[in-house]
Amino acid sequence: MSRKNYFLAFDLGASSGRAMLGILENGRLELREIYRFMNGMQQINGHFFWNIFSIFQELKNGLKKCVSENGIQPESVAVDTWGVDFVHLDEKGMILSLPYAYRDSRTDGMPEELFKIIPEKELYLQTGIQLMQINSLFQLFSMVKDKRKLLNITDRILFIPDALNYLFSGVAATEFSIASTSEMILPGQCKWQTELLKKVGIPVSILGKIILPGTIIGKMTTEVAAETGSKQIPVVAVAGHDTASAVAAIPADTSDFVFISSGTWSILGTESASPIISEQANKMNFTNEGGVEGTTRFSKNIMGMWLIQECRRIWSAKTDYTWDEIVKMAREAKPFKFLIDPENSAFLNPGNMPDAIVKFCEKTGQGKISFHGETARCIYDSLALKYAFSLNQMKQITKRSFKKIYIIGGGSNNHFLDQLTADVTGLPVIAGPAEATAIGNILMQAKAMDVVSSLKEIRNIVRDSFDPVSFSPERMENRDEVFDRFNKIVNK
């Protein structure tokens, strides 16, 4: 009789979190959602934070529900989240404050200030990381510039998944993939850029040793075990960055693929054996972040479903649209009538996203959006065009050709955007699995526990366990004219 293995993944996004149970048997994986909860930034005195204590309580609720209500004792647990944000610990290991959220305004103008010390080109060549003001480097530099007392009493920082692992296990460890989002490590290595950090005034002493994904950190504390009814099971550092976990679960059997991890952010890229660092990659703003088994994700962060999520939030004050209703309105609107650059800073955290889109379209001479369907269509058209634009850049940099696009994550369920992406890029799209991040988390736990042997086996399991949806490119009307308009908007 075959043995079933049970692993519990905590998969956290900017708007929600889930406890996902993975049941692995005979090379096939079954997923079961155990618990889901809302997440979000908290605005306090004009700044944005994550409530790390509330999040941890929700994770414990998920574990308790798994053990007590479902009667299943997982063999291990692991956490993945978004990148760049971190908590501060004091010398006794106590969390000093709520962690800032990456959309907080404290990093406004920080890249320009830091470039006075280290030029932008030099910074990229040393780190290989895409320039984004939200990066941990700029968050910490803002504290140096403002002479924040919090930094003076910080003994250690931990990125969000590392901090949650710490609360589960009592062991402070920094995992490679999440550390790689910080713009503070040597490209492709488990080493901090110490000389760079010293140069900008960030104390190197607050940074711990970096470990590889698939490492067992330690066992769950007796307190957490007692509270949740669980045994003191291993806590695993999987690929803590959600995109790294998701890419591990791509059901590819060749290397000539593009991935789009579609969620609050859309992350477009490919897998590389080593970092790709050049002046061209810097100019085109591509990043090199850590993956599993020493791989590099050569990619670009693109504003993703955040655009439509924020529109829905604003619209809900009057009309609480379902996602299907929003897609239906978009289908009925004229294609490519209004276009935006999703990466424009106007859309980072405008407060009123529909208004920001309307103003952008008017400012760029496209006319006035008159109904919600036009706004939704504008977002979906613009995202697909941005994918194609970024894909063309990636081809130029890597000198590689690509045969298919895998769209993974929750956004893969939007089949309207999946088809648009196929049409605009001219490549077949394979959509799914939607729960790629949780799957990657679970199967890296299985690898840490010696149930799975390699990334290749992980991807074989994914192919055998899930049925993605395929989309073939269809003819696109006025292709050249649409691309020309979009390029002008992006290059303004």
3-class SS at 471?
Answer: strand
State yes or no: is 162 an active-site residue.
no
Residues 6+ apart with CB under 8 A from 63: 8, 19, 74, 77, 224, 228, 230
Measure the CA angle with vertex 190, ends 109 and 75; round to 5°. Answer: 110
> From the CB of residue 167, how many other CB atoms can be counted at a distance below 10 Å?
23
Secondary structure class of 7 (helix, strand, coil): strand
Residues 242, 341, 418, 423: which is the catalytic one?
Answer: 242
Q: Check: CB of residue 22 under 8 Å from CB of residue 439.
A: yes
Q: 406: which strand partners?
A: 259, 430
Inter-CA distances, 77 with 249, 420, 442, 443, Å: 17, 37, 8, 11
- Phi and psi at 474, nearest 5°, equal -115, 160
The stretches of 192-256 forming alpha helices (DSSP H) are 194-200, 222-228, 242-248
Residue 45, both tokens: 């005195």
Residue type, 248: A
Q: Give the residue among 272, 309, 302 at the shortest CA–CA distance from 290.
A: 272
Residues in the chain: 492
Distance CA 86, CA 50 (A): 10
The rounded Cα 79 to chain-centroid distance in angstroms is 13
CA-nearest of 193, 90, 65 to 136 is: 193
| Tokens found for residue 335 | 């294609």
Element (H, E) at 33: strand 28-38
Coil, strand or helix at 140 = helix
At 266 the three-state DSSP class reads strand
Distance CA 192, CA 169 (A): 24
Q: How far apart are CA 475 and CA 375, in angstroms?
A: 23
Residue 5 has phi, psi (to 5 degrees) of -115, 140
Q: Active-site residue numbers? A: 242
